[in-house]
């Protein structure tokens, strides 16, 4: 089902000056102090204050909140976590149907100077207001905010998490009954661990009865300020159905072998290293990013669809996560200079226009520029208007891979010029072997991140296709005299990067099943044709000065699955018997053998969040995307489809 566009909250004030919601006709917090209320009701109510706070001694502590609001509960919790010097990781999951715009949120948080450093970090990562899951990292990944923007009734059933504590903090049940409904309470209960705790300022009778029916043991405690009482609870005997998702148990040993040091391999190595894993990284070339990840510049923009289908929603989440990651990784050569995706023709121009209108996309994510506005932005003739992604841009993949490896520190030991020729499974580990059958490394987990070469190591081939792509390098001087200098990426069926990317790249060919790595003059000619479609007249201005056969360029092999979505997760055990009614959750797996493959031509967009997803799966931590999106990239999906075709 397509998610509804977000309706931002509009700041308003009640008669006493307290922040007020005109949508629900209720205040966001008590007039006697929002921070004191958060500490009294939610932290103290869940036993999260002081030296005996429940999160001490845990590897991971998960809090689930209904109603993010200004984020004060999160900020106060983060502050308490810091002050307690907890040694594990904090996951804070919060759902919000009507989030504030960034500028409004900044203004509303300004009156809380004691939280200024924390709120500043939150505001720097605050996402554009588009629906779905948004994962934000703080304190070098020790604190993670999982922000679920949209209707809680739709999003909470899509959450894969096991909460240790619950903050019930919606507007009053009489004002916002959907957020306190029996169905939502059951969903929250299914997301809670045995003996999880709960706290809320509300003590209405229907809520108490709903919680008790779900298995919560309740206790009334003194409330905050004018409220005489509040509720706390402990989940002693849950009666709700079992979760419909599967989270793995935290690993006994955090050791892995990663094969491939391109975007996929370095991304997953860094995400595991950030969690304390020891990784043996194998790359057959002498340095990272030598195959499809070796182009001097790639473009960063999301895929959009008018129906906001799974692929578009996944692409949006990956794109926004990538922007946040690139902003904090040291030494990445990139520029969020903006990307203009020019429409192919008049019909496509109308589709682009209506897509932005019907999805109600905010301008800081995507805007549609009419023809004249698009030409004014680029400074050159264009055939049509197009989508303008002002946060998009270009990235140098090699520098990204190097930055990811640098962030790993001593947790990753790279083995360059070393090819893994075979894998062997033992009782409790996987072994990587060279061409002579000699042991290279052994670990409980192996992650295949070696694109089209992965099938050489597998028992059953994955449906992966190699797609040849050739880009052309244009010397800066060839563009001189053809128009004003480019400052943004422009794309359509092809693309061109601005000179500040270091090398002006024009591309790219897209030849499925072709593995020829030789440069072809015909493909340079094709790239110049794509350039002329993008910027009419540009090629005419340079074609007398250039022989396509003399152009420099580069060929890379992308790897794609039939549905053009990545493969992220544990591989299926195709030799094990499976029931006719098997699902992705029940399908037998090859324990310890995982894939991060099929990034196709969108590796810069897919890789960061795909790596975070796989690392979360290996840790048994809350997943960063909706369960239906995680299933859409599950590498077992093709085996399951084959089983079902056989059954039918």
Residue 75 and residue 159 share a domain: yes
- Alpha-helical segments (H) within 20-71: 34-37
User: What average pLDDT does the segment 211-215 reach?
Assistant: 95
Cα-Cα-Cα-Cα torsion 455, 604, 347, 2, nearest 10 degrees, comes to: 80
Domain membership of residue 318 (yes or no) is no
Q: What pLDDT does residue 648 have?
A: 38
388 shares its domain with 402: no
Residue 186 and residue 267 share a domain = no
Question: pLDDT digit string (tens) for 444-461?
Answer: 999 999 999 999 999 888
3-state helix, strand, coil in the chain (%, to 5): 35, 25, 40
Residues near 359 by beta carbon (within 8 Å), at least 6 away in sequence: 5, 304, 306, 308
Residues 378 and 447 in one domain: no
In a domain, 7, yes or no: no
Q: What is the pLDDT of residues 256-278, one digit of tens each?
A: 999 999 999 999 999 999 999 99
Q: Is the peptide bond before 508 cis (omega within 30 degrees of 0)?
A: yes
Query: What is the CATH classification number for the domain harbouring 273?
Result: 3.50.50.60
Range name among 278-282, 569-573, 574-578 with the lowest pLDDT average: 574-578
> How far is CA 528 from its chain centroid?
34
Whether pLDDT at 548 is above 80:
no
- Looking at the fold, whether 498 and 456 belong to one and the same domain comes out as no
Q: Which two tokens stand for residue 622?
A: 């809350």
- The span from the CA of 369 to the CA of 356, in Å, is 10
Q: What mean pLDDT do residues 463-487 have?
A: 85
User: 102 lies in which domain range?
Assistant: 12-235
Domain-located, residue 319: no
- Would the pLDDT of 541 be above 70? no
Task: Please tell me the predicted confidence (pLDDT) of residue 138.
Answer: 98
Q: Which of 523, 558, 593 is the C-terminal boundary of a domain?
A: 558
How many other C-beta atoms lie within 10 A of the C-beta of residue 111? 9
Q: Residue 57: pLDDT above 80? A: yes
Of 135-139, 160-164, 366-370, 506-510, which range is least confident?
506-510
Query: Average of pLDDT values for 65-76?
Result: 96
Give yes or no: residues 382 and 428 share one domain.
no
Q: Is 313 helix (H, G, I), strand (E, B) or coil?
A: helix
475 and 427 within one domain: no
Q: Is residue 584 part of a domain?
A: yes
Long-range contacts for 232-235 (Cβ within 8 Å, ≥24 apart)?
A: 232/45, 232/46, 232/197, 232/198, 232/199, 233/197, 233/198, 233/199, 234/195, 234/196, 234/197, 234/198, 235/189, 235/192, 235/193, 235/194, 235/195, 235/196, 235/197, 235/198
Task: Detail the DSSP E strand segments found in 71-228.
Answer: 89-96, 132-138, 143-149, 163-168, 192-200, 216-222
Backbone torsions φ then ψ of 306, nearest 5 degrees: -60, -35
* pLDDT for 297: 94
Residue 451, in any domain of the structure? yes
Assess whether 116 and 47 both reside in one domain: yes
Give the mean pLDDT of 231-250: 77
Instruction: Grade residue 555 by pLDDT with cuts at 50, 70 and 90.
Output: very high
Assign 367 a pLDDT band (cuts: 50, 70, 90): very high
- Sign, Cα dihedral of 182, 187, 190, 196: negative
What's the pLDDT at 527? 93
Query: What pTM was computed for the model?
Result: 0.96
Percent of the chain beyond pLDDT 90?
Answer: 80
**85 and 223: one domain?**
yes
- Closest C-alpha among 290, 298, 286 to residue 262: 290
Q: Of 56-65, 478-487, 513-522, 635-644, where does mean pLDDT reach its minimum?
A: 478-487
Residue 380: C-alpha distances to residues 114, 386, 484, 486, 627 (Å):
49, 14, 7, 9, 44
Residue 556 to residue 517: CA distance in whole angstroms: 7
- Poorest-pLDDT segment among 16-25, 425-434, 499-508, 592-601: 16-25
Mean pLDDT of the chain: 93
Would you state the pLDDT for residue 26? 78
Residue that is written with structure tokens 């894993």 in the block: 277
CATH code: domain of residue 36:
3.40.50.150
Beta bridge partners, 557, equal 468
Model confidence band, residue 16 (pLDDT cutoffs 50, 70, 90): confident
**Do 60 and 145 share a domain, yes or no?**
yes
Shared domain for 27 and 94, answered yes or no, is yes
Is residue 328 a part of any domain in this protein?
no
Q: Which of 167, 169, 173, 213 is nearest to 192 (CA)?
A: 167
Which pLDDT band, with edges at 50, 70 and 90, does 334 fall under?
very high
Q: How many domains does the chain have?
A: 3
Rounded alpha-carbon distances, angstroms, from residue 41 to 47, 85, 212, 281: 10, 22, 19, 47
> Which one of 509, 541, 558 terminates a domain?
558
How would you classify residue 57: left for phi > 0, otherwise alpha for psi between -120 and 50, otherwise beta?
left
Does 178 lie in the same domain as 93?
yes
522 in any annotated domain: yes
Mean pLDDT for 240-246 is 60
Sheet of 430-433, strand order: 422-425, 430-433, 439-443
Q: Is 133 among the domain residues?
A: yes
Of the three residues 523, 542, 558, the one that is the final residue of a domain is 558
Identify the CATH number of the domain in which residue 529 sits: 3.30.9.10
Residue 413 has pLDDT above 90, yes or no: yes
What integer pLDDT is reported at residue 556 of this predicted model?
A: 93
For 35, other C-beta atoms within 10 Å of its C-beta total 16
């Amino acid at each position: 089902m397509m998610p509804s566009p977000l309706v931002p909250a509009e700041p308003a004030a009640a008669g006493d000056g307290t922040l007020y919601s005109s949508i629900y006709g209720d205040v966001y917090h008590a007039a006697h102090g929002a921070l004191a209320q958060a500490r009294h009701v939610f932290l103290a109510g869940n036993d999260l204050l002081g030296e005996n706070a429940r999160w001490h001694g845990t590897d991971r502590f998960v809090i689930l909140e209904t109603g993010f609001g200004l984020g004060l509960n999160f900020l106060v919790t983060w502050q308490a976590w810091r002050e307690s010097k907890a040694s594990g990781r904090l996951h804070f999951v919060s759902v919000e149907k009507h989030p504030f715009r960034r500028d409004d949120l900044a203004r509303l948080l300004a009156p809380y100077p004691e939280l200024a450093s924390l709120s500043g970090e939150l505001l720097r990562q605050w996402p554009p207001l588009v629906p779905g899951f948004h994962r934000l990292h703080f304190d070098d990944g020790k604190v993670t905010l999982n922000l679920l923007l949209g209707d809680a009734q739709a999003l909470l059933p899509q959450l894969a998490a096991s909460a240790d504590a619950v903050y019930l903090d919606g507007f009053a049940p009489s004002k916002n009954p959907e957020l306190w409904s029996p169905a939502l309470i059951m969903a929250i209960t299914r997301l809670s661990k045995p003996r999880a705790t709960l706290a809320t300022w509300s003590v209405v009778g229907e809520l108490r009865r709903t919680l008790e029916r779900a298995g919560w043991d309740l206790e009334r405690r003194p409330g905050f300020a004018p409220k005489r009482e509040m509720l706390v609870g402990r989940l002693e005997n849950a009666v709700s159905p079992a979760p419909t998702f599967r989270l793995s148990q935290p690993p006994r040993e955090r050791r892995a072998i990663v094969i491939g040091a391109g975007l996929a391999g370095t991304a997953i190595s860094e995400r595991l290293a950030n969690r304390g894993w020891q990784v043996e990284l194998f790359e057959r070339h002498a340095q990272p990013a030598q195959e499809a990840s070796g182009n001097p510049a790639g473009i960063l923009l999301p895929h959009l669809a008018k129906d906001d289908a799974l692929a578009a929603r996944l692409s949006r989440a990956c794109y926004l996560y990538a922007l946040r990651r690139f902003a904090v990784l040291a030494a990445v050569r990139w520029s969020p200079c903006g990307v203009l995706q020019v429409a192919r023709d008049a019909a496509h121009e109308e589709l682009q226009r209506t897509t932005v209108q019907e999805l109600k996309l905010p301008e800081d994510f995507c805007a549609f520029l009419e023809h004249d506005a698009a030409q004014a932005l680029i400074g050159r003739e264009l055939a049509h208007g197009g989508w303008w992604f002002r946060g998009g841009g270009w990235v140098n993949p090699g520098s990204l891979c190097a930055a990811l490896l640098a962030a790993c520190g001593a947790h990753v030991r790279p083995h360059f010029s070393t090819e893994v020729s075979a894998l062997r499974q033992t009782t409790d580990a996987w072994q990587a072997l060279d061409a002579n059958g000699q042991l290279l490394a052994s670990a409980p987990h192996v992650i295949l991140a070696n694109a089209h070469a992965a099938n050489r190591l597998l028992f059953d081939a994955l449906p992966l296709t190699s797609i040849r792509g050739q880009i052309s390098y244009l010397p800066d001087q060839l563009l001189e005299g053809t128009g004003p200098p480019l400052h943004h990426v422009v794309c359509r069926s092809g693309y061109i990067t601005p000179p500040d990317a270091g090398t002006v790249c024009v591309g790219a060919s897209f030849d499925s099943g072709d593995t020829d790595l030789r440069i072809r003059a015909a493909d340079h000619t094709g790239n110049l044709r794509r350039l002329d479609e993008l910027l009419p007249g540009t090629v005419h201005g340079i074609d007398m000065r250039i022989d396509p056969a003399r152009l420099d360029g580069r060929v890379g092999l992308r790897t794609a699955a039939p549905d053009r979505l990545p493969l992220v997760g544990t591989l299926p055990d195709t030799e094990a018997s499976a029931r006719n009614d098997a699902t992705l959750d029940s399908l037998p797996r090859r324990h310890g053998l995982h894939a991060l493959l099929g990034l196709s031509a969108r590796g810069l967009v897919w890789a960061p969040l795909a790596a975070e997803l796989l690392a979360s799966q290996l840790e048994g931590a809350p997943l960063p995307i909706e369960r239906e999106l995680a299933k859409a990239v599950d590498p077992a999906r093709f085996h399951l489809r084959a089983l079902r075709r056989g059954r039918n």
